[in-house]
Every structure is written in C-alpha cells, then in structure tokens.
Amino acid sequence: MLKQREDGGFLGQPAWLWSGAALLIGLSLSVLAAWTHHVALAKSERYDLQRRAEHSFDAVETQLKNCSLLVRSVQALFLASDEVSGPEFDSFFANLQTRELFPSLQGISFARRAADAPGADAAAPGEHFITSMVAPRQGNERLLGFDIASQPASLRSLQASRDSGRPAMSAAFTLVQNMALTGARDGIVLRLPAYSKGPPPLDQQQRRDRFIGSIAASFQVSRLIDRALPAEARETMDVRVVDATDGQRWPLFTSMTTEPLALGTPRRLTHKFSRDLRFGGRIWRMELSGHPGGTAPIWLPALTLGAGVIGSLLLALLAWSIAGTRAQALVLARDMSLQYRESEARFRALNELLPTLVLLASPDGQLVYANQAARRRLDLPDQEALEQSIFQVFGDTELSAQIKDVVDLDQAMRNVSTRCAGVGYRPFWATLSVSRIELDGKLHLLAVANDITELRDLNEMLSYQATHDPLTGLYNRREFGRRLDVAIDNVNAGGPASALLYFDLDQFKIINDTSGHNVGDQLLSQLAGLLGSHLVDGETLARLGGDEFGILLTPATPERALEFAEQMRLEIDGFVFSSEQRTYAVSVSVGLILLDRPGLTQREVLSLADTACYMAKERGRNRVHLYSEKDADTNLRRSEMEWASRLRQALIDDRFILHYQEIAQLNPGEHPEGVHVELLIRLRDEDGSMVPPGAFIPAAERFGLMLQLDRWVVDTALANFSRLHPSGLPVRLCAINLSALTVEDDSFAPFVLERLRRYDVAPERVCFEITETAAVASMTRVIELMGTLRKVGCKFSLDDFGAGMASFSYLKNLPVDYVKIDGSFIRNIETDPISQSIVRAVTEIGHQLGLKVVAEWVADERALEILRVARVDYAQGFFVHKPELAVCFR
C-alpha cells in the first residue's frame, strides 16, 4: 500500500526530495552529454584537418611527379629521333600545352654535351654542357649559350640524373633567366639525361655511353606549390614548405591563414601535420597547422548543455507532479474502473487506439461503433453521429451479400481481400473478416479490416522489378527466359515455329570508356525505344545483358525472321546518337536461330544464338548471321566454347599435369653439370585419357584462359623445381612457355618474383619462352617484362623464330638469351639446302649477338650432325628425348 502524505509525497519521502534527486541526475547527465559532444566535435575537427593535410601532401607530391612526366616526355623525343632540331623542339613544346597544365613552368631547355665547345667556360677545361635549345624563347633568352658546368651544383645534379636515369631536382635558387628581373626568384630545376636514339639504356655504362646532353625544366617553386595545394587547405590552414635535404631548413613556401594573436591573448591549441616529400634527390618538408574551432560550431556543446538543463528542470517538475499526484491518481483509477464495467465501454477502450479498422453493427447492418482508425480511414463522423450502414461503408454489392450470409447463416468471413470504395473517402485495398458475436445478450456483427494498400502497391512494384530491366524498362533476362520456355513448349507440342534474335552492339565498350557510363546508359535507353517502336503483338523485346538485347518472334518463318532482323539492323545502323555535343555511329551484330524443331532447351537456344552473334562479329560486324547446323565455323565456335567450359572445370578439379622434354647440349663441357628441360602442359580428361595441347590450347587462347594456365605452370614448376627430373641431377635451366595474353598482363612479373622468393628458386635457372609472333605484336610490353625479370637473373628465349614475319632486327632489339629456330626449318634440313642456309645464318648472327641457338624437331642422327657442324648450341626433339611425366606427378 502506498503511504500518502499531506505534502504530496509517497513512500514516506517528501515531494521536494524526489524532485531534487531528479534535477541532480538530469544536470549530471547534461554535463556528461555536453562534454561527450565537445570531445566528438574535437575528434571530428582534427580528423578533418588531418584529411586536408594528407590531401595537400598528396597534391604536391603528385604535382612533382607530373613535372617529372613532363621532362620524361621530352626525353622520349630524343630517344625517338637521331637529331632533334630547334624547330622540332619548339613544336614539341607547343604541342604539350604546358602553360595550361604547368603555370609555374619557366621554361624547358636542352644543354648539349661538348668537350671544350665554343661558348664553354675556358677556366674549366674538359666536359661542358652548353644550352642550345630553350622553349619558350621569350623570357629565357639568357639561357642560350649558358654552360651548365659553370654551376657546380647544377653539374652534380646533371651527373646524378645521367648515371641513375632518374630525375634530379636542384635546391631553390635564382634562375639564370630571372637574374635581371624583379619579383619572385625562387626557382628550381628538374633534370633528366638525354640519350641517343634507341631503346632506354639498361645500366649505368650504357647510360654514360649514350648520354648526349641534359634536359632541364625550370619552375617557380612558390607558384608550383601554391597551385598544387587544394583550395580548402590554402584557405583554412597555415602551410610551410622547406628544403631539408642538407639537414637545414631553406624556406620554399609559406601561407598564413590566421592573423597573429594580440599581446596577452591566450594561445589556442594548434594541430600540426608534417611529411617529408622525397623527390629528385631532395627532401621537402611540408608542415601544415590548423586551429580548433575553424570547421565545427563551438556553440553546439553549449546548446546540448542548455537543452539538458531545460530537460532536467522539466524532469524535476515531472517528479514533483508524480510524487504529489500518484496517490490521488490511484484513487481516481479505482473510481474509473467502476465506470468501465459495462462490456461496451471495455470494448471501446481496448479498440480505440488499434491501427486495425474495427466496426460493430447491428444485425440489420447499422453501425453502432467505429474505432478511431476506422473513422479516420472511412471518413466517418463521431460515435454519436454514426448513421451509415456497414453495406454503405464498403460499397461492394458482392461483399454486401457475403456479409448478409454471415448474419443469416452464421458463415464467418476470414481475411477476404477486397477493394473498399464507399462514398466519402479514397478507395483502398483491405483484408476483411466479419463474424457474429453476442454483446450484452444482443446479436452484433464484428468487422475487422487491415489496410493493405501499401503492401499491395509494394508487391506490384516488386513484381514489375522482377520482370523488367530498370534502365530501359524492357523485359529482363529472367522474364525473357520464361517466355522463351513457353515458345519452346509450343514447338514441342506441335505449335508454330518461333525465332530468337540476339543483338550485341558493336564497339559499345569504346563509348563507355571514352564518354562514361552515363552516356552509354543513354544510348541503351534510346536504342530500347527504337527497337520497341517496331514491335507488334506476339513479339517480345528484352535486355539480356550489358549491351545485349533479344527479340522473340512468334510465329516466325526463316524469311520473315531474316527480313525482320535485317530491318532492325538497318534501323540501328542509321541511328545517330548524340550526347554532350558529340555524335556516335552505332551498329549491331545479330545472331538468329529458328525454334523449328522439338527437343530444344532454353540454355541450348541462348547458347546457339550467342554463337551465331559471335560469328556475325567474326565476319566483320554489323551483319545478321542465321545459325545452321552445317556451318563449319559455327560448329568450331561451339566446340571451342565447350572446351572453355571443360578447361575451367579442369582447373577446379586440378587435372592438368606437366611433362618435361630434355634439351641436349651439342658442345658438352661448356656448362656445369645439370639438365636443361622444357616444360609442356597436358590435360588428363575426366575418363583418365591424355588430351594433347593442340585440342585445348586454341580454345584457352580465344577465351582468355591462358593467363590462368600460364600461372598454374609457373607456380607448379617453381613449387616442385627439385622434383621435375628423375635423374636427381639439378635442373640447370627450365624453359616455360608464355602466351601473348600473359605478356600483356602487368601483374605477371610481380607474380613471378613473388613465387621465386616463396619457393627459393634461383632466377638464373628459369627461362621464359615467348613466340616471335607474340613479341612482334607487343614489342613494348615484351621489352618491359624482359627488363623486369632479367634484372633478377631470369633468362628469355625467342621461340619459333622464322615462323612468322621474322626479322633479324628483333634479335638486335629484344634482350633475349636464347633464340629457338622454328622446327619447319629443321624437319627437312637433310635434303633442303635453303633450310641449311637459314639455320647457319640464324646461328652465326645469334652468336655475334651473344645468344645461344636452339634447334627444334630434331628427328634423327643425320639432322643432329648437320646442326653440330653448323655450330648450333642445343638440340630438341623426339630423337633427343621424348616428353615424359614430371616426377612430381608420378
């Protein structure tokens, strides 16, 4: 029992005590919340300042790298030309548009290497570097004829860049062209060596031998840094950049965004951030500082505290009120419970606030009660003014008959979905349940309804999204597949034939890559509208993928299908797409397949249509190709597609194995003991039989699987390097073939280097074979790959030399260690004098270039003797050794 007090308290305590306790707790929580808010704002502000500082560091560092790329582009001009003239130099500079990209650039110059050249400093005999070309000429006239050797610091940076091949940057100083000018003189010079025409030199000796002069780009350092800094950092933070290369601090740039504090003003906390930027042999130290309160409003914690104080006061008043009135409330509650003993009152109290619509009616349908949700949704008056009948409320003749059956036959309605459309309110969907009940001895109808309009709209929306493409509004692949299944079932049941048109836009990826995906999406939407405008009843259009569309014609004859496909192709071919002041020509390749025989499946039909579309692209694009079982090219395509699927499964099942074939040395004693082998990949089929590489390699190359196969070979070979040959002798050199696709992969070289370290295999024992065709097709990538792997010791062989568009200049320009003569010249070497001459020529030229020569397809002793007389270094073929299973797979 509660003990009521005269002062309004309860439980023996006065009301002011409860109110004071509530006030104390509220104030404590308010202070804690304000402090927490303050700490969160401080952390957020520091994070924001740190983010701006990091962006500033990265921006300046990126600008320095861009300056380096500018000088690199000039260096490439000299590598590509025997002699660069002044007009060529000026034209190249004008094409670079450097003023827009590098406002801080003073000029680009070239100083030619000369010994005691005219104009050189007579007091410093020896090597001189006379500036012979400069662009732009205006403002840089003082540079022409200037000897770099007269400046020791510049000479040292020139020599450093020459020997390393990397950019060298000077300390800040007054540029020669600015000595007679007023204003900012804080200049820096970025240098790179200029080499004679040819591929980039690989080591220091080659760089010195081919060094012809120095390329320099001069910049105004303060402007360079200022333009690189993000606007938010310049406006809100103090920035200081110094040159700390020699342990001292030489100022380069200062930006102050805050005014000095007045005398006697307490200093504010400052967040400082710094980073050393190392570039071109110099160290720039960037220091950024920001002050708290610059980004976040400082009054927010105070506002939190104020709100907390107000809430505490309200809480104290509430406690006072509760403590003073709780006893009286209990007495009033007991009195009210006596008033609600009648069943109708209890029913209304329980249902008034329910979200469900609750109606109570007399047996004749007259409403006697409606809860708040029902009155609001059905636009009914207050309880005292209810005049409608339950039949008028729902406004459905069929539903009224069912409700009368509830009265007459006592057949309750359970969750009947209906559309309520009575007078006075907006129609809605509901689930309605009606039953008879007795209340105070009288018969009544109880109706309970749930508004399901939003749920129904959501279901309709989800149903639409499940069958339509969100971009074009066409049917999606799932709905198209369902309709395709219906067409197939009709054909199986003896119905009319149908046709499937498979559209694939030509060169759509180029539009996406050059203009962005937004433009590509606009094109797809417009093409969807164009195709849809030509459809009639019985034709289904759907978007099947990124730039792929499908049309299902039902019924269809071959003539009608071909005519319709050609009409669609011509419509698209004549369509000109415009976006952002650019126009694009669009074409499409169409694969056509007739559904004119029973037994087809959806998967088979789509696969055949894709094959036909591929054949249209193979034959020149912008054409229609009708699939035919007699089409040899199509059958080959299907076979390769099947092989692609089988190869992917073979990789999953680990059914690839390695064979090795020994390569014999024709002049024994020149190398230490060991074996020289080439690894050959083989496939064990699902039934255990061996599949020759000629059966699956073309499909792997066509469908881009050679990357995975080459990596598998490299990883497996290096992991089992000591378990390849059964003799137990060390593998002196292991040759591994690389496909053209692997040569194009930028991540392959890092992959090889990581596997060499993981399995502790000496790089000089690994030789990668690249075919002559692949080398010619990707000369730049091949040289880059060879340069990366040869640095650690790996060897390279030019395979099948002479099989393609052979040129001895490749041997001169490619950094290979071995050249492997194609077997077509070895097969008939005993009877073909021309083949003998070619072998001797390749061998002699290879030896002059310091290469080892390998002959393939050696079939007998006579051929081996001819190769030995021709001074070929190695022989390979079935006469030398037939391929065997590697030991690790036995």
Mean pLDDT within 172-199: 77
Quote the pLDDT of residue 265.
Answer: 44
Asked if residue 74 has pLDDT above 90, the reply is: no
Asked if residue 855 has pLDDT above 90, the reply is: yes
Mean pLDDT within 796-821: 79
What percent of the chain shows pLDDT beyond 70?
Answer: 86
Asked if residue 185 has pLDDT above 60, the reply is: no
In angstroms, rounded to a whole number, what is the distance separating the alpha carbons of residues 551 and 474?
A: 11
Asked if residue 313 has pLDDT above 90, the reply is: no
**Domain end marker among 588, 608, 628:** 628
111 and 194 in one domain?
yes
Asked if residue 326 has pLDDT above 50, the reply is: yes
In angstroms, rounded to a whole number, what is the distance separating the alpha carbons of residues 38 and 168?
A: 48
Mean pLDDT within 674-703: 82
Mean pLDDT within 795-801: 90
In angstroms, rounded to a whole number, what is the distance separating the alpha carbons of residues 324 and 318?
A: 10
The answer to whether position 547 is within a domain reads yes
Q: Tokens for 763, please give them.
A: 């790089």
- Of 62-71, 234-243, 414-423, 585-594, minimum mean pLDDT range: 414-423
Asked if residue 736 has pLDDT above 90, the reply is: yes
In angstroms, rounded to a whole number, what is the distance separating the alpha carbons of residues 556 and 531?
A: 18
The answer to whether position 359 is within a domain reads yes
Region of residue 379 (phi > 0: left; psi between -120 and 50: alpha; otherwise: beta) = left
Contact yes or no for 621/613 (Cβ under 8 A): no
Quote the pLDDT of residue 640.
Answer: 57
Stated as kind and residue range, the H or E segment containing 293 is: none
Structural domain range at position 548: 468-628
DSSP 84: -
The answer to whether position 847 is within a domain reads yes
Asked if residue 669 has pLDDT above 70, the reply is: no
Average pLDDT, the chain: 81
> Which one-letter amino acid corresponds to residue 339?
Q
Mean pLDDT within 548-564: 90
The answer to whether position 326 is within a domain reads no
- Of 374-388, 698-712, 839-853, minimum mean pLDDT range: 374-388
- Of 458-472, 711-725, 749-763, 830-844, minimum mean pLDDT range: 458-472
Question: CA 731, 737, 741, 744 torsion: positive or negative?
Answer: positive
Band of the pLDDT at 485, cuts 50, 70, 90?
very high
Quote the pLDDT of residue 311.
Answer: 78
Pair type for strands 357-361 and 367-370: antiparallel
Contact yes or no for 45/296 (Cβ under 8 A): yes
**Domain end marker among 400, 426, 456:** 456
Quote the pLDDT of residue 118.
Answer: 47
Quote the pLDDT of residue 124.
Answer: 46
474 and 434 in one domain?
no
206 and 106 in one domain?
yes
Higher pLDDT, 13 or 542: 542
Quote the pLDDT of residue 612.
Answer: 87
Torsion, CA 613, CA 617, CA 621, CA 627, rounded to 10? -40
494 and 434 in one domain?
no
Quote the pLDDT of residue 385.
Answer: 66
In angstroms, rounded to a whole number, what is the distance separating the alpha carbons of residues 647 and 699?
A: 9
- Of 73-87, 182-196, 556-570, 779-793, minimum mean pLDDT range: 182-196
Quote the pLDDT of residue 214.
Answer: 92
What percent of the chain shows pLDDT beyond 90?
Answer: 22
- Whether residue 136 has a cis bond before it, omega within 30° of 0: yes
878 and 825 in one domain?
yes
Asked if residue 674 has pLDDT above 90, the reply is: no
The answer to whether position 85 is within a domain reads yes
395 and 526 in one domain?
no
Band of the pLDDT at 8, cuts 50, 70, 90?
very low
Quote the pLDDT of residue 638.
Answer: 52
818 and 739 in one domain?
yes
Q: What is the CATH number of the domain that holds 396?
A: 3.30.450.20
Convert the pLDDT of each residue in 243-293 to its tens digit. Answer: 998 888 888 888 876 555 444 444 455 788 899 999 988 899 999 888 665
Asked if residue 769 has pLDDT above 90, the reply is: yes
Q: Please name the residues in contact with 148: beta carbons below 8 A apart, sequence gap of 6 or more.
A: 111, 128, 129, 130, 131, 154, 155, 158, 214, 216
581-606 burial, b at 16+ Cβ within 10 Å, e below that, comes to eeebebbbbbbbbbbeeeebeeeebb
Quote the pLDDT of residue 78.
Answer: 85
Higher pLDDT, 14 or 519: 519
855 and 713 in one domain?
yes
Asked if residue 120 has pLDDT above 60, the reply is: no
Convert the pLDDT of each residue in 81-97 to its tens digit. Answer: 878 888 888 888 888 77
The number of distinct structural domains making up the chain is 4
412 and 491 in one domain?
no
529 and 670 in one domain?
no
DSSP string, 393-428: HH--HHHHHHHHHHHHH---EEEEEEEE--TTS--E
Band of the pLDDT at 803, cuts 50, 70, 90?
low
Mean pLDDT within 785-813: 82
Write down the residue that tokens 């610059």 correspond to: 294
Pair type for strands 238-243 and 282-290: antiparallel
Q: What is the CATH number of the domain that holds 674?
A: 3.20.20.450
674 and 711 in one domain?
yes
Contact yes or no for 554/498 (Cβ under 8 A): yes
Q: Which long-range CB contacts under 8 A does 94-99 form with residues at least 24 apart?
A: 94/135, 96/70, 98/70
Identify the bridge partners of residue 665 per DSSP, sorted by sequence position. Answer: 874
Asked if residue 422 has pLDDT above 70, the reply is: no
- Whether residue 251 has a cis bond before it, omega within 30° of 0: no
Quote the pLDDT of residue 12.
Answer: 53
The answer to whether position 772 is within a domain reads yes
Q: Judging by beta carbons within 10 Å of its beta carbon (0-12, 13-18, 19+), is residue 294 exposed, middle or buried?
A: middle
**Domain end marker among 427, 456, 485:** 456
> Which one-letter amino acid corresponds to residue 185?
R
Q: What is the CATH number of the domain that holds 552?
A: 3.30.70.270
pTM for the whole structure: 0.38
The answer to whether position 289 is within a domain reads no
Higher pLDDT, 4 or 246: 246
In angstroms, rounded to a whole number, what is the distance separating the alpha carbons of residues 247 and 245?
A: 6
Mean pLDDT within 795-809: 75
479 and 365 in one domain?
no
The answer to whether position 294 is within a domain reads no
Mean pLDDT within 752-768: 96
Asked if residue 832 has pLDDT above 60, the reply is: yes
Pair type for strands 818-821 and 852-855: parallel
